A and B are shown apart, each in its own frame.
Chain A
Amino acid sequence: MVVASHISISYKKVNALKDISFSVNEGELFGFIGPDGAGKTSLLRILTTLILADSGSASVFGLDVVKDYKNIRKITGYMPGRFSLYQDLSVEENLSFFAAVFGTTLKENYDLIKDIYIQIEPFKDRPAGKLSGGMKQKLALSCALIHKPKILVLDEPTTGVDAVSRKEFWQMLKKLKNDGITILVSTPYMDEAELCDRVALIQKGEILDIDTPMGIISKYKNVLFEISSDNMYKLKGDIGKFNDTLSVFLFGQFLHFSPKSGRKDTDVLKKYLEEKGHKNIIIRECKPNIEDCFMDLMQSENG
């Protein structure tokens, strides 16, 4: 269980976190989703007792992040955004070191990390600095788990990682969650929101919304269409000039368009696009995803 109430922190002129409150339930896989500079790292560092908030309070499994910081560290596994293991120690030495720091051994908790560690075990004598990106990530996760933490805190574990390795990483997290570990994870990839039990969408130090992924999507109130034609570059400009356009964004092979009027009848739009010379026009209503919701919340926040 994690409870944060009215947390604020600023660095010089920048208010990195502005009066943030939330709670995470035991056993939950909870995601902080937002771009760089949203305040994700600051928040996770406050919860892992690495920095102090300017104001507000927070607790982890009933332990206060200021008064009980030593006990929080015993039950927390933390994987920082930047690879922070000893590059000149081998895979096995890193693990033994972190186990020793927490007063345990590799043997004692081998079961917990087995599935992950087994993939890098063939390289156990290799210096950590010489591992590939994917292997470093697995080693860092193994080290964060070696003392059997109650809560695992991961700061952007999948940033810069390819689409396939990202999927594999999330499968590992799901498994750890099933082992009963509470997991807080931050990510700039909006599509990963759907893999969390609940998420906080975070932007410029503020939480835009907290809910289940389905809950967030169900709150999206605009009508949304996906549109394509033979000239996508021109299509975006043309729809941008259409008089009923609330928003139009690139979305893979389609544009996502939502009309100001909320009208579901698209004949006028289709005629307008035909007059502009577009061929093979596809216009169909579609479901929003987390990214549509995030952009909509960002815009209402700014507007």
Chain B
Amino acid sequence: MDQREKIISVKNLVKKFGDFEANKNLSFDVFKGEIFGFLGANGAGKTTAIKILCGLSSPTSGEISVAGFDAYHETEKIKKNIGYMSQKFSLYSDLTVKENIRFYGGIYGLSRDTIKRKTKDLLEKLNFSEHAGSLISSIPLGWKQKLAFSIAVFHEPKIVFLDEPTGGVDPITRRQFWDLIYETAHTGITVFVTTHYMDEAEYCNRVCIMVDGRIDALDTPENLKKQFGADNMDEVFVRLARAEKK
């Protein structure tokens, strides 16, 4: 038995939309401080599962707990204990950097003093202090992504969901972003991340690959490569997703 603390526990998750079964009996656990990669082709059912884990959609059946709360009845508590960021989810572009931080801090119920103190730390850490008063619309995309991530973990959630966080950013910023992910995981926050960059799958502690509503593989990148006799995660992914199409 794995003794680590479970942050997400999913048993026999099924989600149906009418006759269509988007999630077919998913079972997996995610542990404290783990970087958990969630991969799959478009339409494999990733978004459906993430919405349930974030408390935005109700499962059809199964036992699901996130950050210790039940995904049927305690969705508000789930929302308070998670962070979320996606490529499409942007900060408010007509607010400044500092205003965005204050806004999200307030939404998550942090006190004024805490927000003030943490804002200063955050801006220093990101080297953004000079730009605290800049409008979001005026800063480069790479900065925005780093800031959006930092704001998603500003209230120190137990888990942060990152939905294609690095889409479209330049290769150097993409790597700096992963440095932030590693740092965050080391502080004990669980990172649940989706990506279409297969090199990024290698950076995860464990990777789960969804195919057609099912989980077809779940293990460390090392073990998956061994299991499929592949040189890299790209090959693993292509083999699983292609097999489905045939």
Binding site for B on A (CB under 8 A): 34-38, 132-134, 159-167, 188-190, 203, 232-233, 236, 249-253, 291, 294-295, 298-299
Known contacts A35-B170, A163-B198, A294-B170; 18 further A-B pairs (Cβ under 8 A): A34-B170, A36-B141, A36-B168, A38-B170, A134-B43, A159-B167, A160-B196, A161-B196, A163-B234, A165-B41, A165-B42, A188-B168, A190-B171, A249-B171, A249-B172, A252-B198, A295-B171, A295-B172
B182 located at the interface, meaning its Cβ lies under 8 Å from any Cβ of chain A in the complex: yes
Is B233 touching A36 in the complex (CB atoms < 8 A)?
no
Number of B residues near A (Cβ < 8 Å) is: 37
Contacts of B138-177 to chain A: CB distance below 8 A: 140-142, 164, 167-173, 175
Is B238 touching A167 in the complex (CB atoms < 8 A)?
yes
- Residues of B contacting A162 with CB < 8 Å? 40-42, 44, 196, 241
Known: A134-B42, A233-B186, A253-B202. A298 touches B170 (CB 8 A): yes
Closest to B231 in A: A253
Is A132 touching B169 in the complex (CB atoms < 8 A)?
no
- Residues of B contacting A250 with CB < 8 Å? 175, 178, 199, 203
Of B169, B203, B241, B245, which contacts A163 at CB under 8 A?
A: B241
What distance in Å separates the Cβ of B212 from its nearest Cβ neighbour in chain A? 12
- Residues of A contacting B232 with CB < 8 Å? 252-253
Binding site for A on B (CB under 8 A): 40-44, 87, 140-142, 164, 167-173, 175, 178-179, 182, 186, 196-199, 202-203, 221, 232-234, 237-238, 241-242, 245
A46→B74 CA distance, assembly (Å): 52
Of A37, A134, A166, A294, which contacts B171 at CB under 8 A?
A: A294
Question: In this complex, which of A162, A295, A298 has the most chain B Cβ atoms within 10 angstroms of its Cβ?
Answer: A162
- Residues of A contacting B203 with CB < 8 Å? 232, 250, 252
What distance in Å separates the Cβ of A161 from its nearest Cβ neighbour in chain B? 6
Is A161 touching B42 in the complex (CB atoms < 8 A)?
yes
Of A133, A134, A163, which contacts B237 at CB under 8 A?
A: A163
